[in-house]
Each structure stands twice: as C-alpha cells, then as structure tokens.
Amino acid sequence: MKQVTGYAWPMLGRRYEGQQCSVARTLEIVGERWTLLIIRDALLGLRRFDEFQISLGIATNVLTNRLSSLVDNGILTRSRYQAAPPRFEYHLTDPGRELATPVLALMQWGDRHVAGRRGAPRLVRHTTCGGAVAERHVCADCGPVDGAEVAIVPGPGLRVG
Amino acid sequence: MKQVTGYAWPMLGRRYEGQQCSVARTLEIVGERWTLLIIRDALLGLRRFDEFQISLGIATNVLTNRLSSLVDNGILTRSRYQAAPPRFEYHLTDPGRELATPVLALMQWGDRHVAGRRGAPRLVRHTTCGGAVAERHVCADCGPVDGAEVAIVPGPGLRVG
C-alpha cells in the first residue's frame, strides 16, 4: 500500500458518517462483530434461526435484532419454511453474497497472522478447477497486483473541507 | 458464493473464539468500528495522534486505547517524532498493511451498495499503469473468478464437534 501523502489530509474531515467514506458507511451496516459473523455463517450455508443461534451462542433477542437489521439493509431475505409453529429461514441477497470478498479477506488475513499451529480452519477453492482462491488486489488491465503497487486516490464522491 | 450444504453444519460449534474461525479471531483484533477506521486512516497516510483524532472525532482516551491495542497486536508501530513535549506517530507494520485487502473490499462493497449519488469518495489505482484496482477472488491457477465459482471447504485447522 503506497503511502498517499499530500492529499490524504484533510480529506476525511469530521463527517465520515456521510457519503465521504464507503468503509464507514459499510461498517454502519455490517460493522458489529456478531453481524459479520452472521454473514460468515450465512456464507457457510446456515439458514435457520436455530442454526445461527447455536453457532454463535448469543442471546436470542440479540440475534433477532441483528437478523432484522440485515433484512432491513438488504443483506438477507426472510422466508417462512414452516407454518405451525411459524419458522423462518434467512438467505443472502446478491449484495449479501458480495460480502464474501471482505469476509474471506478477513479470514485469510487471520489465517496468516492469528491462526493456530494447526493451520487454516477453512480453505477457499475454485469450484471449477479446485485451485486455491485468495482475495487479492486486481488491476483491470494487469491482473493481480501486490499491495505495494496500489494507491488510494480521490474519487468523484469526495468533498474536501 | 456456492452454498456449502452438508458439512457446514455443525462445523462451527460453540467455540468460534478459538482456532476454529479466522474471521472471528481477526475480528477480535480489528472487529470494532473505530479500530477498522483507524486502520483505514493509516492506509490513507495519517500518522499522528492529532490527525487520527480530528479525522475520527472520537474521545482522546478511546483513541489512545485503540491505538495501544493495535500496537500490542502488531498492526501499528509507535515512534517518537518530537522530544519536548513528547509526540508519537504510528506506522502500519507489514501485517497491518495487508489489512488493505479487507478494508478496500469493504470500501468497494460500500461504493456499490451504499455510496451516494456522487459516486465513490475514493478510487483504487494501480500505481504502475493507473488502471482501476478491485478486490477480487483470485484462483491460483485461473486468475480472477466470480463469487459463484468459489466454495469454502474444511481446512487442516478445523476440529468438528
């Protein structure tokens, strides 16, 4: 990651809650530990309230709130799979499935830096050829590139000052 | 993202705090909103306590705690740049810089799904050619692949039950 001196400051300002930063706006939706772990579980194939509850071991009211928030924000859809008593399951939307990229990037960072001696608990594979899949910076023209060759520059949505 | 039925459950169990999941272990270090925004600011080139404080607008004691935690966890290093009064600056370590991948993946997800009409506040560019850089799934054999062709499978560090 190239250091971006000169314009980096004061590009952020105090209003990072607004349109100024898409990291902050994304964290307003998924930036709570249980929420990201619910999304992880959904990516792993969990669907039902009880499955999430047992996986995460959190209080049912907390889980209910987090699932409702994810439905309200268009990350999950909720559908009834049983009428009496009513039971619901949760499926990732297309935007929800796209969160696989940051979630797997967090997972692979952890595999490299905080996993135990036994190695990665989970691997990511290309279904077509079985090859190992990593989350990487990809240049539209050159293909995968290293972090040292990447710079963050101002975009059209940035208001300075 | 391929749905991984059959083995996904009960692969997680209740002990996700342990080696069982590198997402959870990573979130134990960076899974707090201010912490990820401090890392974002460091990736953007901010170095000094006052710069982080003005950028984030958080209480100094909260910022002090978060910076100390990031130093303790090997994400930032702390060095004195002025003797009287003592002033410190913070630099990303190599593992810290590697967090660019998940942070930029969160940013780009936000650009697509929650950015305002003005467009992305920041763009990611390849310094060598100027091309647009995106965070993507990359197969070691095939290059960049779509989420629909990606599966999460058990790894050597996984203990079931």
CA B111 to chain A, closest CA, distance in angstroms equals 6
Residues B96-141 have pLDDT tens digits of: 999 999 999 999 999 999 877 788 999 999 999 999 999 999 999 9
Contact B8 A95 (CB under 8 A): no
Question: A22-149 in CATH: which number?
Answer: 1.10.10.10
pLDDT above 70 (res B78): yes
Taking residues A96-102, report their average pLDDT: 97
Contact B140 A154 (CB under 8 A): no
Taking residues A62-68, report their average pLDDT: 95
Taking residues A9-38, report their average pLDDT: 71
pLDDT at A134: 98
Q: Of B16-20, B31-35, B124-128, which one has max mean pLDDT?
A: B124-128
Amino acid at A58: I
Taking residues A62-77, report their average pLDDT: 96
- State pTM to two decimals: 0.88
Nearest CA in chain A to B149: A127
Sketch the domain layout of chain A as residue ranges.
22-149
- Give the residue from A107, A96, A88 showing the smallest Cα distance to A47: A88
Residues A78-97 have pLDDT tens digits of: 999 999 999 999 999 999 99
Residue with more model confidence, A116 or B59: B59
Amino acid at A136: R
% of chain A with per-residue pLDDT over 70: 87
The DSSP H or E segment spanning A106 is helix A100-113
Q: What is the 3-state secondary structure (H, E, C) of chain B?
A: CCCCCCCCCCCCCCCCCCCCCHHHHHHHHHCCHHHHHHHHHHHCCCCEHHHHHHHHCCCHHHHHHHHHHHHHCCCEEEEEEECCCCEEEEEECHHHHHCHHHHHHHHHHHHHHCCCCCCCCEEEEECCCCCEEEEEEEECCCEEECHHHEEEEECCCCCCC
DSSP assignment, residue A76?
E
Contact list, A111 vs chain B (CB under 8 Å): 22
pLDDT above 80 (res B12): no
pLDDT at B161: 58
Amino acid at A30: V
- Give the residue from A28, A55, A87, A109 showing the smallest Cα distance to B8: A55
Retrieve residue B57's tokens: 């607008």
Mutate to test the interface with A, among B101, B117, B125 (most CBs of A within 10 A): B101
pLDDT at B125: 97
Place of tokens 């990809």: A138
Least confident among A14-18, A106-110, B87-91: A14-18
pLDDT at B157: 86
Beta bridge partners of B152: A124
Q: In CATH, which of 1.50.10.20, 1.10.10.10, 3.90.1170.50, 1.20.120.80 is domain B31-122? A: 1.10.10.10
